[in-house]
Amino acid sequence: MTPGDPTFNATRSAGGFADYSPALENRRRVVIREVYAHVIDGAFVPSASSKTLTVVEPATGESLAEVASGNAADVDLAVRAARRAFDRLWNDTDPLERGRHLFRLSQVIRRRCREFSVLGAIESGRPVRWLRETDGPAAVAQIFHFAGWADKLEWAVGGGVRPVPLGVVGVILPPGAGVAALARSVAAALAAGNTVVVKPSQRASLSALMFAHICREARLPPGVVNVVTGGDDTGAALAAHSALGALEFTGSAEAGKAVAQSTAKAGTRLLLELEGNSAQLIFDDAPLDQAIDAVVRGIWQHRSEPWDVASRVLVEESIAEEVVDRLARRLQQVRVGDPLDNNTDVGPLDSAEQVGRTEALVAAARQDGAEVVRWAKRPPERGWFVKPTLLHRVELPHRSLAEVTRGPVLSVLTFRTHDEAVAIANQVASGRSAGVWTTDAARSQWVADQLHAGFVWVNSYDLVDPASPTWGLARSLGGDRGGRFGVGAYLELSADRGRCEGASAIDGCRPRHGDGGETP
């Protein structure tokens, strides 16, 4: 019996695991091969070492497929292929034509969204409903948006300045990154005129390889998008490659430090996005129905990428008991199970290691005196499932508030004043995002200004438009995302004296990078 079989959840119903009829997606929508090679220069290329890594299905703990285990030779082959494509074709392609390529890619992705959602659910354990309704459409929107920028860059940067692509961009993706995260990085880099080498997580390699295959279907030239699969050593080899124009890394702070050292030695521009524990702040005048729904969606239901998960909820003391009671009741309504079931809210985690980390965190919180509310039903015996958990009265500071876990664990803290709320929220040095819930416009503005977060939602959470710029503060993000700023991260600006005649500084005219000249 495997996920996607009609009996998978029905069997658990008899044991008290589920109380609903399964509504399963057909896993046969995608064909999963036994062995996958890299995609380099438009072709499937086996690893130079002939070694492979096993991709394990989180819902069963069983082997799903083998992917090529890349080494430094494979990375070098991919980077050289990307450089050839850049020098001989992509850099000289008319920007309008580059945009057409991306528009065509967005339409192919739109037609294949359901396949991506099924494959993503199988290999990552995230609920298929969330992938189909949110992640897939977001990927299409990202590519469509950046396609529109391809022929407008010279006008976006100001008079007398010429945008210059960086060359080859490396992209290292974390576990949990869906096709939307991949599409955002690839589309922005390609719109700017670069070519890319993607190193996906070992636990999300199949979706990235499918994306590369679809790039071929959309008639992108060979070598423009390359995918090298493998483990941490593969990512390290890509980060250290001296021929990269830029490297985009998303992952843990510890790994980010190592990547920063490698790119500094290689002289490579680094776009750094680190995962962290975001916070939502609920004040006594908040619209509680909407706030509770957003909290539940953010941590127990449609969990997005780990760097945006709001695992901390700060509640004003006067309404804390009501909020905790409502969250505890909603927790018991969450449905845990087969990620291919459209009824499922919480699927398995992506590794046994994450299960161990999550359970250890909950045990430590309980030992330190926190009130622990856990999902009352029995999770599946097979697979990497964790009971959704609510922690209340957590003592400050506590590892549950700072340690990043992909498990469905929510910590609730209380505050009395605005200053105290901001101080608690800013204790964790990862400023990716935050949410503020209040009907007082002045208070929401003041709190948002004080939070160490690059993106703050007011009376909403995790609603992102591709055109909206996002930054990070503290240790969260070292690059820009979204709109003109998102494309600009993959460009350098160049100007020559002849083109700058009569241009003012406000037009953006400045000397070529590194030439030591002065602005005319």
- Coil, strand or helix: which one is 339? coil
The CA distance from 466 to 481, in Å, is 9
Beta-bridge partner residues of 374: 389
Which pLDDT belongs to residue 431?
A: 58
b/e map of 468-480 (b: 16 or more CB within 10 Å)? eebbbbbbbbbbb
- Chain segment 3-32, per-residue pLDDT in tens: 555 444 443 433 344 466 889 999 999 999
Which pLDDT belongs to residue 2?
A: 55
Q: Residue 155 corresponds to which tokens in the numbers above? A: 């006008």
Which pLDDT belongs to residue 4?
A: 56
- Chain segment 205-227, per-residue pLDDT in tens: 999 999 999 999 999 999 999 99
Ranges for all domains in the chain classified under CATH 3.40.605.10: 26-274
Which of 330, 345, 310 minimizes the C-alpha distance to 435?
310
- Chain segment 156-185, per-residue pLDDT in tens: 666 677 889 999 999 999 887 889 999 999
Q: Which CATH code is given to the segment(s) 26-274?
A: 3.40.605.10
Q: Residue 375 corresponds to which tokens in the numbers above? A: 């999902």
Listed as own residue / partner, the contacts of 157-160 with beta carbons closer than 8 Å and 24 or more positions apart are 157/488, 157/491, 157/493, 157/508, 158/503, 158/506, 158/507, 158/508, 158/509, 159/503, 159/507, 159/508, 159/509, 160/495, 160/499, 160/500, 160/501, 160/503, 160/507, 160/508, 160/509
Question: Quick one: average pLDDT of 53-69?
Answer: 96
Amino acid at position 315, single letter: V
- Chain segment 85-104, per-residue pLDDT in tens: 999 999 999 999 999 999 99
The CA distance from 90 to 224, in Å, is 7
Ranges for all domains in the chain classified under CATH 3.40.309.10: 279-458
- Chain segment 36-55, per-residue pLDDT in tens: 999 999 999 999 999 999 99
Q: What is the pTM of this model?
A: 0.88
Sign of the torsion formed by the C-alpha atoms of 92, 147, 251 and 78? negative
Confidence of residue 508 (pLDDT cuts 50, 70, 90): very low
- Chain segment 510-519, per-residue pLDDT in tens: 333 334 433 3
Confidence of residue 309 (pLDDT cuts 50, 70, 90): confident
Question: Quick one: average pLDDT of 303-310?
Answer: 62
DSSP H helices in 414-464: 418-425, 441-450
To the question of domain 279-458 being in CATH 3.40.50.10860, the answer is: no
Polymer length of the chain: 520
Q: How far is CA 67 from CA 28, 33, 54, 401, in A?
A: 20, 10, 6, 35
Place of tokens 């590892």: 399
The CA distance from 130 to 125, in Å, is 11
Confidence of residue 401 (pLDDT cuts 50, 70, 90): low
Residue 129: enclosing H or E segment and its boundaries?
helix 128-130
Which pLDDT belongs to residue 509?
A: 38
Mean pLDDT for all residues in the chain: 86
* pLDDT reading at 470 higher than 70: no
Which of 262, 268, 98 minimizes the C-alpha distance to 169?
268
- Chain segment 219-266, per-residue pLDDT in tens: 999 999 999 999 999 999 999 999 999 999 988 888 889 999 999 999
Which pLDDT belongs to residue 218?
A: 94
Residue 198: enclosing H or E segment and its boundaries?
strand 195-199
Question: Quick one: average pLDDT of 191-211?
Answer: 95
- Coil, strand or helix: which one is 53? strand
Confidence of residue 399 (pLDDT cuts 50, 70, 90): low
